[in-house]
């Protein structure tokens, strides 16, 4: 595999976006104007959290996150997440690059990529804490889907406690809720309690707001990534005081109407969104208290040579929609470390590029 550049110029960006370059970079949002949003920026914490109920230690730890790494001071974040060894099995996750069976290499990649933080398991950070806790902010992912049942089940259970995360020096905790799943109510209550405890101890909170229910697939279309359903998941996430929302970027819309459940409004589809991916992602931002809580999109699975172009495209859409950053894992760690770090840098370049503006 050819090594990637450590920076992405405007020319590179055009090339990576290909036929979509003009449509994405020149698009003006038509559905929900940016002036109605709270947007990322160097003063984001002052504008949003100083009037909140978050205590001074939470604010300090949020400041640690936002001021670390290559995007430090911009209001945007780049996080390396590696919990896929549980969610997708260690073999499926790390066989392409067995170096990452050694968890310390996960931290080294986050450092090489100059990320704002690393989000990974209690086991990984527990082994790495004394060596790395002063070098990069830690986010402990508290719950996981064990994925070792026959047949497969999707049930987030706690693998660690908030107090353990606090003891190893974490600045934040993360958790997943599978909205729409049979276990959603239990997960929602459990994560709500964990987030309240984390805030009491001074740690910020990150929620993976994922949809999971086979009923969300209708006529061969998976509406787990629809703008309307993911938007509502985001709204539930900010309601339990997630400080950052992690969400898959939408690929379609109309999950409510296609599946035929819940409540929505025709205005969502007629006036407040369009089919453009920037407008669809903006609907996710709108449902994060109109951007007061930051939206970071996930980078998705690794597909090989197209990873760089896909990650940069996702970053452009997220930034232009009013999002706060990208959380890239498999696309980075399933390749040699230097190439993984370069890919992360290329994503960061989108957020550093003043010519890539909010639509």
Q: Environment class of residue 116 by beta-carbon count within 10 Å: exposed (0-12), middle (13-18) or buried (19+)? A: buried
Do the beta carbons of residue 81 and residue 120 sit within 8 Å? yes
What DSSP assignment string belongs to 167-199? HTT-SEEEEEEEETSTTHHHHHHHHHHHHHHHH
Phi/psi of residue 298, nearest 5 degrees: -85, 150
Q: Which of 141, 246, 319, 331 is catalytic?
A: 246
C-alpha 70/C-alpha 80 separation (Å) is: 13
Q: What is the DSSP letter of 252?
A: B
246 catalytic? Reply is yes
Beta carbons of 227 and 280 less than 8 angstroms apart: yes
Two tokens, residue 293: 């809580």
Give the whole-angstrom CA distance, residue 165 versus residue 151. Answer: 32
Structure-token pair, residue 346 = 């290329």
Helices (H) and strands (E) in the chain — how many of each? 17, 12
Contact 346, 98 (CB under 8 A): no
Question: Cβ(143)–Cβ(205) under 8 Å?
Answer: no
- SS3 of residue 276 by DSSP: coil
Pairing of strands 325-327, 77-82: parallel
Beta strands in the chain (DSSP E): 77-82, 117-121, 138-141, 143-145, 156-158, 172-179, 204-211, 217-218, 221-222, 244-247, 294-298, 325-327
- The CB-side HSE value for 95 (13 A sphere, CA atoms) comes to 5
Query: What residues contact residue 23 under an 8 Å CB cut-off, 6+ apart?
Result: 276
Q: For residues 344 and 114, give the distance between their C-alpha atoms in angstroms, rounded to a whole number.
A: 8
Catalytic residue annotation: 246
């Amino acid at each position: 595999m050819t090594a990637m550049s450590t920076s992405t110029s405007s020319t590179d960006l055009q090339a990576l976006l290909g036929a979509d370059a003009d449509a994405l970079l020149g698009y003006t949002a038509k559905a929900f104007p940016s002036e109605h949003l709270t947007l990322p920026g160097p003063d984001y914490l002052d504008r949003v959290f100083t009037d909140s109920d978050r205590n001074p230690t939470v604010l300090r730890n949020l400041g640690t996150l936002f001021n670390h790494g290559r995007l430090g001071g911009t209001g945007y974040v780049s996080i390396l997440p590696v919990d896929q060894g549980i969610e997708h099995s260690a073999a499926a996750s790390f066989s392409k690059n067995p170096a990452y069976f050694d968890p310390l290499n996960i931290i080294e990649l986050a450092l090489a990529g100059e990320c704002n933080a690393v989000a990974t398991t209690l086991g990984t950070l527990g082994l790495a804490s004394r060596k790395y806790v002063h070098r990069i902010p830690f986010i402990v992912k508290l719950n996981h889907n064990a994925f070792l049942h026959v047949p497969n089940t999707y049930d987030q259970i706690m693998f660690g406690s908030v107090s353990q995360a606090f003891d190893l020096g974490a600045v934040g905790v993360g958790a997943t809720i599978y909205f729409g799943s049979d276990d959603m109510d239990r997960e929602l209550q459990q994560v709500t309690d964990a987030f309240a405890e984390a805030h009491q101890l001074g740690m910020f909170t990150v929620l993976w707001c994922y949809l999971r229910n086979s009923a969300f697939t209708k006529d061969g279309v998976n509406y787990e990534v629809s703008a309307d359903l993911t938007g509502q998941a985001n709204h539930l996430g900010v309601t339990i005081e997630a400080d950052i929302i992690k969400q898959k970027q939408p690929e379609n819309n109309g999950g409510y109407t296609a599946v035929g459940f819940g409540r929505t409004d025709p205005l969502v589809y007629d006036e407040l969104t369009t089919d453009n991916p920037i407008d669809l992602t903006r609907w996710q931002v709108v449902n994060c208290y109109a951007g007061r809580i930051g939206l970071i999109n996930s980078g998705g699975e690794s597909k090989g040579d197209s990873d760089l172009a896909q990650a940069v495209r996702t970053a452009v859409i997220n930034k232009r929609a009013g999002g706060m950053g990208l959380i890239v894992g498999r696309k980075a760690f399933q390749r040699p470390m230097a190439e993984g770090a370069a890919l992360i840098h290329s994503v960061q370049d989108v957020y550093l590029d003043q010519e890539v503006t909010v639509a």
